[in-house]
Homo-oligomer: A and B are copies of this chain.
């Protein structure tokens, strides 16, 4: 089977900045006419509250296994030429890139759908958690679906 027909998939967790330009280069290919890169970045405002930083924690082995599972799932649903999923852990400042998804397909519709699938599902099943560092000095784990009080740090 030629390289063209093999979906080249790679996932990574990192404590440092994500080199999204390199990820994008890695999925480019003459077999693909379309590349979609998604970056999640640390946003200042969430429901009107001001964030100064986020701390990301992961369950590394399972997180990587689930990220690779998602890449394989995408490659089953769409003609993926290459896919990369990288998540950063640790302390991130405003504007920092927390997650990058890069995917290439022959045509753009598939590349957009595969990219959207990868980030949507990552947020649902990959065991990584973020803690908000609010501007008022409090911190708070973000756990969708659970209700809890703010812990003042």
A residues lining the B interface (CB < 8 Å): 20-21, 24, 28-45, 94-95, 97, 104, 106, 108, 111-112, 115-116, 119
Contact = CB atoms under 8 A, between A and B. Distances in A.
A96 to B, nearest CB: 9
Q: How many copies does the complex hold?
A: 2
Nearest to A46: B33
Contacts of A34: 38-41
Nearest to A19: B21
A42 to B, nearest CB: 7
Contacts of A38: 34-37, 108, 111-112
8 contacts: A29-B41, A32-B43, A33-B41, A36-B36, A36-B37, A37-B37, A37-B38, A38-B111
A35 B39 contact: yes
Contact of A94 (B30, B44, B106, B108): B30
